[in-house]
Amino acid sequence: MQNRIIALAVFSALWAPSLPAAEVTISGRITATPCTVDASLNQTLDLGKVQRRDLLQAGTGSEWKAFSLTLNSCPPSTNRVTATFTGTPAPDDNKAFASSGTATGVALQLSNANSSLTLANNASLSVDIDKARKATFPLTARIYSPKGQSSAGSFISFVQVNLSYQ
């Protein structure tokens, strides 16, 4: 009895109309565990008081103030970290960041530690992860007067840092 049922099933399969093949695309993403972001990444950098007279000439600025962004506990599979800096460009200098404070004619200049690389909107800086599985971005910042004749008032600038790992 079982043989007949099997035979009918085979016979039915032979006479069944052919169906079109279907493709299934399967994709995914493999990611590494990110480094632990040190509290220094969410920090307020106080550039201090700057005298208006020091910002009257175009291209002048306050003293550069050093600070660092630090990442810890980076996974062994990660060798390098890239930080991309984004914010609103200054209206008088697109290589500086705008201030939303009450002082006019001023902007934020952001640079690497030795001030040899200006970090403008969408600029990136990469560092290797050291043997202690740590990455440090040594940076400097200052209040800058692109056109001179800056007014007195408050200075506030916001820069976002996006991290990517290699």
155 belongs to a structural domain: yes
- Give the least confident one: 30-34, 54-58, 93-97, 120-124: 30-34
Q: What is the pLDDT of residues 78-133, one digit of tens each?
A: 999 999 999 999 999 999 999 999 999 999 999 999 888 999 999 999 999 999 99
User: Which H/E stretch holds residue 5?
Assistant: helix 2-15
Q: How far is CA 95 from CA 3, 39, 52, 109, 146, in A?
A: 83, 27, 22, 8, 10
Q: Residue 143 is part of a domain; what is its CATH number?
A: 2.60.40.1090
- Residue 150 domain-assigned? yes
Half-sphere exposure for 15 (CA within 13 Å, toward CB):
5
Residues 58 and 92: their CA atoms lie apart, in Å, by 11
In a domain? residue 141? yes
Please compute the mean of the pLDDT values over residues 67-79 and round it to a whole number: 92
**24 assigned to some structural domain:** no
Whether 5 is covered by a domain: the verdict is no
**Host domain of residue 118:** 32-165
Domain count, the chain: 1
